[in-house]
Amino acid sequence: MQAPQARWYVIQVADICKILTGEIGYQDSGADIAYTLRSRGINIVTPSASPQVSLHEGWCFSDTEEGILSAVNGGATHLWANTIVFESHPLQQSSKLEPIASDIYVVGQPPRLVESFDDKLFLNDKLRELSGYTLPRSWSISTSDDLEEFASSTEKFPVVGKPVRGRGSHGVKVCYNPSQLKQHLETLLQESPLVLVEEYLAGAEATITVMPPTPKRPEYWSMVPVVRFNHVGGIAPYNGTVAVTANSRIVNDVEMQDPAYGKIMDECVEVARLTGATAPIRVDVRRFSAGSEFALFDINMKPNMTGPGRPGRENQASLTAMAATALGWDYGTLLEEILASAQSLASFRAYRSPF
C-alpha cells in the first residue's frame, strides 16, 4: 500500500531573547509561525513537546549553536531563521553544521547580507552611488563630531535622528530645532558611535514588502503597498505599542493609479535584487510632501512576521501579512510561500556582497 503524501518540511524557528530596547524579541512571531504551519499539516520540531498555544515560549529553539544543533538532531530539515543574523552567527560559522550544510535548508537572509545591509548608512550610500533610487538627504554623525556646531548649522528643520542599526521605531525621533537635535544625538551616541540624521519626509507614508524568488516564481516582486497613518510625534509607532492593524491599510485600486506608487515599488524590487535578498524585505517609504514622489527611508532586512494564527492573536497581523491579504492569501499561505524560498545552508553561507 502506498503511503499517503504529506508535507515533509520540519522547521526550526530560531529566536533571540532580547533586542536593543530590552524587550522580548521574536518569540511571539516565532510561535505564530510554528503554530500556523503545524496547523496546516507541516511537521514542526519544537523544544517543548507540547508548547502551549497561549504562550510564546516553547515554540522556538534559541539561535545559538546548541539550539540549532538540538533542532537538527530532533529531525529538522529546514531552519526558519526568525532572528537577526550577523557574520559571526553560528548559521554562518558553526563547524558542526558544515558536514550537513548541503542537506539543511534555511528561510531567512544570509548573515553576511545582514551584516552589510542592516547598516542603514552603508546601504543608503551605496544606493546613492548607483543612482536611480529616491532617498532623503542625510548626514552621518559620530562621537568625534561637534554636535553643537552640527545642530546650529542645520539649515532646515525638522529632521529625523535615528540609529544606523535599529529595530522598529527605537531611537527614531523628529527634531524641530537645534536644541532638540543636539540632545537627541547625545542620547543616540551613548548607544552607538555612529548615528544618522535625515531630512524629514512630511508626506504620506507606506511600507512595501518585496518577496524573494521561488521555484514557482523565479524573480523578485512587490506586494501592494500598505499605507501608515496616526503617527506619534511624526513617526509610525512600534507595533508592540500599537498594532499595525490599527494604523495601517492596504492601498486601494484608485490610489494605485498614482504613478508614484509604481515607481517606488520598482525601486524596492531593485533594492532586493541588488542585495540578493533570499527572504522578504520590507521597505518603508514616504512622500517628500503631499502629492510628491516617494523616497526610500528605511530598508528592513528582517521584517516583522507576526500573524493571526494562534487564538487571541487576531489583531496581530504584520504589515507583510496585511499586504498578503490583497493577494487573497491568509497568514498560513503567506508562510508557505516564504517557506518555498528556503535555500541550502551551503548556499546561504556562500553569499557574497555585490559591493
Query: Does one domain contain both 163 and 268?
Result: no
**pLDDT at site 200:** 97
Overall number of domains in the chain: 2
Pairwise CA distance, residues 285 & 133, whole Å? 12
Checking if the pLDDT of 62 tops 80, the result is: yes
Q: Give the mean pLDDT of 64-91.
A: 94
Residue 215 sits in a domain whose CATH number is 3.30.470.20
AA identity, residue 9: Y
- CB–CB of 295/285 below 8 Å? yes
Q: Residue 352: inside a domain, yes or no?
A: no
Beta bridge partners of 14: 61
CATH code, 183: 3.30.1490.20
State pTM to two decimals.
Answer: 0.92
In this prediction, residues 62-85 reach a mean pLDDT of 93
**Mean pLDDT of all residues belonging to the chain:** 91
Residues 313 and 164 in one domain: no
Residues 212 and 322 reside in one and the same domain: yes
Q: What end-to-end distance do the CA atoms of the chain give, in Å?
A: 55
Task: Please report whether residue 126 resides in a domain.
Answer: yes
pLDDT number for residue 15: 55
Q: Say what the pLDDT of residue 228 is.
A: 96
Q: What is the pLDDT of residues 216-254, one digit of tens each?
A: 999 999 999 999 998 888 888 776 667 898 899 999 999
Q: Are residues 307 and 218 in the same domain?
A: yes
Residue percentage of the chain with pLDDT more than 70: 93
Flag the least confident range among 55-59, 168-172, 173-177, 348-352: 168-172
315 and 212 within one domain: yes
Pairing of strands 248-250, 226-228: antiparallel
In a domain, 82, yes or no: no
- Domain membership of residue 208 as a residue range: 115-133+202-328
The reply to whether 208 and 259 lie within a common domain is yes
106's CB contacts (< 8 A; 6+ apart) are: 78, 79, 80, 81, 91, 342, 343, 344, 345, 348
Is there a single domain that holds both residue 218 and residue 289?
yes
Residue 10 has pLDDT above 80, yes or no: no
Residue 125 and residue 245 in one domain: yes
pLDDT of 240:
64
Average pLDDT of the residues in 339-352 = 97
Q: How confident is the model at residue 9 (pLDDT cuts 50, 70, 90)?
A: low
CA–CA separation, 249 vs 303, rounded Å?
Answer: 17
Query: What is the average per-residue pLDDT within 15-43?
Result: 72
pLDDT confidence bin for 23, thresholds 50/70/90: very low
Residue 194 and residue 155 share a domain: yes
Lowest mean pLDDT among 5-9, 31-35, 119-123, 163-167: 5-9
| Whether 209 and 286 share a structural domain | yes
pLDDT at 18: 31
pLDDT, position 258? 98
| Residue 1's pLDDT band (cuts 50, 70, 90) | very low
Q: Round to whole Å and give the CA distance between 58 and 61.
A: 8
Whether residues 172 and 210 share a domain: the answer is no
Would you say 3 and 72 are in contact if contact means Cβ atoms under 8 Å apart?
A: no
Residue 286 cell numbers, joined: 514616504
Q: Report the alpha-carbon distance of residue 341 to residue 216 in Å, rounded.
A: 9
Q: Are residues 277 and 256 in the same domain?
A: yes
The region of weakest confidence among 12-16, 129-133, 332-336 is: 12-16
For residue 17, is it within any domain? no
Concatenated DSSP letters for 286-355?
EESSTTS-EEEEEEESS-----S-STT-TT---HHHHHHHTTT--HHHHHHHHHTT-EEHHHHHT-----
The answer to whether 152 and 340 have CB atoms below 8 angstroms apart is no
116: enclosing H helix or E strand = helix 111-117
Q: Is residue 81 part of a domain?
A: no
Asked if the model's pLDDT at residue 14 lies above 80, the reply is no
pLDDT tens per residue across span 297-337: 999 999 999 999 899 999 999 999 999 999 999 999 999 99
What average pLDDT score do residues 31-41 get?
95
> Residue 160 — pLDDT band, cuts 50, 70, 90?
very high
Cell numbers standing for residue 109: 537572509
pLDDT exceeds 60 at position 16: no
For residue 251, give the C-alpha cell: 492601498
| 83 is a domain residue | no
Angle between helices 27-39 and 331-339 (to 10 degrees): 90
Chain CA centroid to CA 64, Å: 20
**What percentage of the chain has pLDDT greater than the value 90?**
85
In a domain, 264, yes or no: yes
